[in-house]
Structure 1
Amino acid sequence: MTSPEPLPVRRAVDHGVARLLPDVDRARAWLLTVDEAPQSYVDLDAPTHLEFEYTRRMGHALDLAADEGAALDVVHLGGGALTLPRYLAATRPGSRQDVVEADRGLAALVDEVLPPVPGAAVHVEDARAWLERAAADRADVLVADVFGGSSVPGHLTTTGYAREAARVLRPGGLYLANLADSAPFAFLGAQLATLGTAFAHLALLAEPAVLRGRRFGNVVVLASTAPLPTGGLARRCAQDAFPARLVEERDAIEALRGSARPVRDGESTPSPLPPGGTFQVG
């Protein structure tokens, strides 16, 4: 049910305190934060407006995943305020979407304040547990944007998880993940090694300053068993307000991987925490 007034809404959720704050500059737009860290931004009047830079990069990749406007079957691990499910419902009408959100309190808040997404089913469950029960060849695209607090949970960073993601995707399907790291890229390198055990083709998108080791930031990883649909992706990302670089050459991916080994179940740790204030709002 939609809130009758655009007032800030605050709730204790499973991983902290969530707030839904109306954007004073856009009539029906909302910012979702958890412990003051931005999680999602949605504009209900303009669902194709992607405020966060990393979501714009994921949006570009989704635009190129199939013919323009073609409906897709998509699994989202991590729900937030359902930014990308809303985007796909607008740009690819008729898409069937499954959204898996582990934070029961957060899912309840979003369901209470914001309208549902046509064609999207929300499952309140651990992402890996849901994935392991899902049917094979279920999805054209799997989007992973899962943060327990400010870190990617360790059980979503292993070879076992990567195998499950590849199993749920149809042959040639697209795996798309939001990660975060900084030089010397120990976490990112291990993730490239891990995903490489299940997917033959890897690429990533990040701001040049992040790739040069100047700051901590988001890295969007693309993976598939087939050549990736990256034609035009570099140009789209270069035209954004905060341009990103596409890294897809095998040598460049291997350089970022370095000597990192794949992460096995039982060996994993959560992703690194961002430095204080990196992703904070007042």
Structure 2
Amino acid sequence: MTDAPGTPGGASLVVRAEVDHGLAELVSDPDRPSSWTLLVDGTAQSHVDLDDPTHLEFEYVRRLGHVVDALAPPGAPLRVAHLGGGAWTLARYVAATRPGSPQTVVELDGALADLVRTRLPADDALLDLRIGDARAETLALAAGAADLVVVDVFAGARIPAHLTSVEFATLVDRALAPGGVLAVNLADGGPLGFVRGQVATVAAVFGHRGVVAASDVWHGRRFGNLVLLASHTELPLAELARACAGDPFPSSVRHGAELRRFTRTAAVVTDRTATPSPVPPAGFFGRPAEDQGPEGSARMPPQP
């Protein structure tokens, strides 16, 4: 493990370490002294503020935060399973906004989990960290164990194929409590063929769906993240739509007839037909720049 010291003029401090699946870097945020961005092999994975875990920098994580806010009355605990650990950004948010929430975080890379635990510790005795493959660990969850399952898994910059199938969605369904919600971070662009297939796939398992996306991503004008939601019961779409519309990075919630039109030619993805998500444009998930967030979108303005 090596530390690259910061240089005068507000340059970032960089901590580098070889982990099980590549080179991890923790890059300090010159605008927020307690904040760090985690990258693996140059792909941004997470941004955390150790002093303020309610600060969510990435656009898609802010939308997942709105989902968490909408699922239960303020402060009420939720049982959450996070498939894809990174730097545990959303788990920290849940712990801060819903104290007493039992949470499971699944991370494939044990060395990466150790790096995060050492350098970016989270003081939450209710956080159960499990090292293993997301699909295998989903199967290991007790039936009905989670109110919310968040799938945010990338191998490099692509979602692994085995986490995109109807068989996997069925495993998640088993782990969810009655009325529980599946939330998936997807990445796609152009005609959104991958996302169309994912919506059709969860529709084969869950009766209610919604997709949260920025307008330019939804209409194919740029590559970006979309959050797919699914449940057997009504989703809190009106509350979620208000929060997303009022966010500094506004987005809309697509559902109902619009989603049915969106997926009318899409096939359900099975283990036999599954493929990873599309390759993003060069630099899309890369190192944060002075005026650009790790997703390739504008950074949050500095907060008082």
- Using structure 1 for the length normalisation, give the TM-score: 0.95
Note the C-alpha offset of 1:77.
Answer: 0.2
Counterparts in 2 of 1:25-36, with a 5 A limit?
A: 25-36=31-42
Note the C-alpha offset of 1:117.
Answer: 4.2
Are the counterparts in 1 of residues 36 and 47 from structure 2 also a CA contact under 8 Å? yes
* Stretch deviating more after TM superposition (125-134 or 5-14): 5-14
- Residues 103-122 of structure 1 deviation map (CA, whole Å, 9 limit, x = unaligned): 22221211121113411111
> Hey, what's the Cα distance between the residues in 2 that align with 1:256 and 1:33?
33
- Residues 103-157 of structure 1 deviation map (CA, whole Å, 9 limit, x = unaligned): 2222121112111341111101000001112211001110110101111111000
Partner residue of 2:234 out of 213, 227, 232 = 227
Partner residue of 2:205 out of 177, 195, 198 = 198
Q: Match of 1:46, SS?
A: coil
Counterparts in 2 of 1:84-233, with a 5 A limit?
A: 84-118=90-124, 119-233=126-240
Q: Which amino acid aligns with 1:29?
A: S
> Hey, what's the Cα distance between the residues in 2 that align with 1:21 and 1:280?
12
Are the counterparts in 1 of residues 106 and 133 from structure 2 also a CA contact under 8 Å? yes
> Hey, what's the Cα distance between the residues in 1 that align with 2:235 and 2:228?
11
Aligned residue number for residue 75 of structure 1: 81
Q: Which amino acid aligns with 2:160?
A: P
Note the C-alpha offset of 1:256.
Answer: 2.1
Partner residue of 2:19 out of 2, 13, 22 = 13
- Residues 156-179 of structure 1 deviation map (CA, whole Å, 9 limit, x = unaligned): 001110001011001110111100
Q: Match of 2:183, SS?
A: strand
Aligned residue number for residue 43 of structure 1: 49
Note the C-alpha offset of 1:231.
Answer: 2.5
Aligned residue number for residue 269 of structure 1: 275
Partner residue of 1:278 out of 284, 293, 297 = 284
Q: Root-mean-square deviation (CA), in Å?
A: 1.5
Name structure 2 gaps, 5 residues minimum: 7-12, 290-304
Which consecutive segments of 4 or more residues in structure 1 shift more than 3 A? none
> Hey, what's the Cα distance between the residues in 1 that align with 2:175 and 2:31?
40
Q: Which amino acid aligns with 2:14?
A: P
Q: Match of 1:27, SS?
A: strand
Name structure 1 gaps, 5 residues minimum: none
Are the counterparts in 1 of residues 157 and 285 from structure 2 also a CA contact under 8 Å? no
Give the total of aligned pairs: 278
Q: Match of 1:93, SS?
A: coil
Q: Which amino acid aligns with 1:66?
A: A
CA pair 26-67 structure 1, distance change in 2 beyond 3 A: same
> Hey, what's the Cα distance between the residues in 1 that align with 2:78 and 2:261?
33
CA pair 122-214 structure 1, distance change in 2 beyond 3 A: same
Are the counterparts in 2 of residues 85 and 117 from structure 1 also a CA contact under 8 Å? no
